[in-house]
């Protein structure tokens, strides 16, 4: 008798739960984006600056994943929006069940935007659908321009690349144009924004992208949902 490999079973189950989550998010008109990067690329700092820019009336929440500690959630809670930490205890990615569990007591009708900060890893998270509307990959200028070629799966699946820590460009041997070229060799229609959370340069481009993506998401909903 043929046996389905365990990994296949896990991914199939994850896909089923993710599809259910996606439908729930669509029914409640919640845009969900999934931020993915290597450790230290600046996901949490970008989220801090993002939440800081929102008015108190913004209907946004955050799920942040890490192997251990609630440090990131504690940093983000200061801005007054609902934030939960998902501590994976060694698992190198978030999965759909984790998302389902941690949003169980949130009223989705009171949300417009859910931002998921995945575990710092460019490999495992690319295989796990979380029910998101868009994956976003971060690449910092302290990494290599060839990261998109070394880890093509996540760059291929992401709609947007956020090039972070651009204030360091005068001091590091990083060719931003080459990094973007490499990303678009993997995903020809990849959108790119360049951001420095330290100086604020490019932050408005990032916020504009989120707003435009929200409008596109809502416009794509069937009339019975929208």
Q: Which residue has the higher pLDDT, 4 or 130?
A: 130
Q: Which residue has the higher pLDDT, 84 or 7?
A: 84
Q: Which two tokens stand for residue 70?
A: 């609630």
Answer whether residue 218 shows pLDDT above 90. Answer: yes
Whether 224 is in a domain gets the answer no
Whether 25 is in a domain gets the answer no
* Backbone angles phi and psi of 50, in degrees to 5: -65, -50
pLDDT digits (tens, 9 = 90+) for 29-39: 999 999 999 99
Q: At what angle do helices 43-53 and 203-219 cross, to 10 degrees?
A: 80
pLDDT digits (tens, 9 = 90+) for 157-174: 999 999 999 999 999 999
CA atoms within a 13 Å half-sphere pointing along the CA-CB vector of 221:
20
pLDDT for the residue 212: 97
Whether 9 is in a domain gets the answer no
* Average pLDDT taken over every residue of the chain: 93
Whether 21 is in a domain gets the answer no
Domain count, the chain: 1
pLDDT for the residue 47: 97
Lowest mean pLDDT among 8-17, 51-60, 184-193: 8-17
Answer whether residue 76 shows pLDDT above 80. Answer: yes
Q: Identify the band that residue 9 occupies on the pLDDT scale cut at 50, 70 and 90.
A: low
Answer whether residue 85 shows pLDDT above 50. Answer: yes
Whether 70 is in a domain gets the answer yes
pLDDT digits (tens, 9 = 90+) for 196-214: 999 999 999 999 999 999 9
Whether 22 is in a domain gets the answer no
Average pLDDT over residues 43-59: 96
Q: Identify the band that residue 192 occupies on the pLDDT scale cut at 50, 70 and 90.
A: very high
Q: Which two tokens stand for residue 179?
A: 């990094």
Answer whether residue 1 shows pLDDT above 50. Answer: no
Average pLDDT over residues 111-138: 96
pLDDT for the residue 136: 98
Whether 16 is in a domain gets the answer no
Kindly tell me the sign of the dihedral angle through the C-alpha atoms of 152, 157, 159, 160: negative
Q: Whole domain around residue 51: which residue ranges?
A: 30-219
What is the rounded CA–CA span in Å between residue 33 and residue 134? 5
Whether 5 is in a domain gets the answer no
CATH number at residue 113: 3.40.50.300
pLDDT for the residue 226: 46
Answer whether residue 103 shows pLDDT above 80. Answer: yes
């Amino acid at each position: 008798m043929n046996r389905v490999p365990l990994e296949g079973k896990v991914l199939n189950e994850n896909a089923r739960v993710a599809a259910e989550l996606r439908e729930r998010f669509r029914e409640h008109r919640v845009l969900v984006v999934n931020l993915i990067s290597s450790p230290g690329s600046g996901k949490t700092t970008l989220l801090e600056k993002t939440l800081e820019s929102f008015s108190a009336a913004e209907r946004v929440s955050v799920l942040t994943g890490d192997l251990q500690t609630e440090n990131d959630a504690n940093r983000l809670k200061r801005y007054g929006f609902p934030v939960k930490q998902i501590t994976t205890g060694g698992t190198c990615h978030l999965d759909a069940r984790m998302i389902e569990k941690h949003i169980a007591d949130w009223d989705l009708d009171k949300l417009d935007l859910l931002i998921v900060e995945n575990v710092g890893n460019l490999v495992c998270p690319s295989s796990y659908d979380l029910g998101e509307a868009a994956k976003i990959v971060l690449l910092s200028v302290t990494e290599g321009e060839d990261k998109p070629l070394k880890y093509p799966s996540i760059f291929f699946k992401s709609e947007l690349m956020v090039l972070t820590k651009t204030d360091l460009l005068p001091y590091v041997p990083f060719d931003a144009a080459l990094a973007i070229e490499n990303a678009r060799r993997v995903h020809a229609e990849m959108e790119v924004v360049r951001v420095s959370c330290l100086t604020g340069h490019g932050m408005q481009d990032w916020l504009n992208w989120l707003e435009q993506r929200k409008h596109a998401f809502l416009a794509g909903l069937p009339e019975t949902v929208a």
